[in-house]
């Protein structure tokens, strides 16, 4: 089964919300203090849009084959 790992570089992220707005599957969200978090990783389709719209090189999606 395929599993995508969403990696947020916390020290780079500026909480602009662009990736949240562009993710087609609503995988990403921001908390009350605008901090970015992954809402539901199982919904991620690995389209990489979040990484392409991020202005701060702060999010990447690594497509992995789950072992066993």
Partner 1 sequence: MQGEQYLNPKRIPTIWCPGCGNGIVVHAMMTALDKLSVPSEDVIFVSGIGCSSRTATYAACDNIHTLHGRALPVATAIKLVRPDKKVIVMSGDGDSLAIGGNHLIHAARRNIDLTLIIFNNSIYGMTGGQVSPLTPSGKRGTTAPYGSIEEQFDTVKLLEGAGASYIARSGVSFFQPTVKYMKNAVSHNGFAVVEVITQCPIYYGRMNKHKSPAEMMQWQKENMVSLEKAEKMTEEERSSKILMGEFVCKEKPSYIEKRASMFKELCK
Interacting residue ranges for ligand SF4, rule: CB under 6 A? 6, 8, 13-19, 23-25, 27-28, 36, 44-50, 54, 56, 58-59, 61
36 binds, among partner 1, ligand SF4, none (CB under 5 to 8 A by kind): ligand SF4
Answer yes or no whether residue 23 interacts with partner 1 by CB under 8 A. no
54-59 CB contacts, 8 Å cutoff, 24+ apart:
54/18, 54/19, 55/14, 55/16, 55/18, 56/12, 56/13, 56/14, 56/16, 57/9, 57/12, 58/8, 58/9, 58/12, 58/13, 58/14, 59/6, 59/7, 59/8, 59/9, 59/13, 59/19
Residue 42 or 68: which CB sits closer to ligand SF4? 42
Chain residues binding partner 1 by CB under 8 A are 11-12, 14-18, 20-22, 51-57, 60
């Amino acid at each position: 089964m395929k599993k995508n790992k969403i990696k947020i570089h916390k020290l780079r992220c500026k909480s602009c919300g662009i990736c949240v707005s562009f993710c087609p599957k609503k995988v990403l969200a921001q908390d009350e203090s605008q901090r970015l978090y992954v809402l539901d990783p199982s919904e991620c389709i690995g389209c990489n849009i979040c990484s392409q719209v991020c202005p701060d090189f702060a999010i990447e999606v690594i497509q992995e084959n789950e072992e066993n």
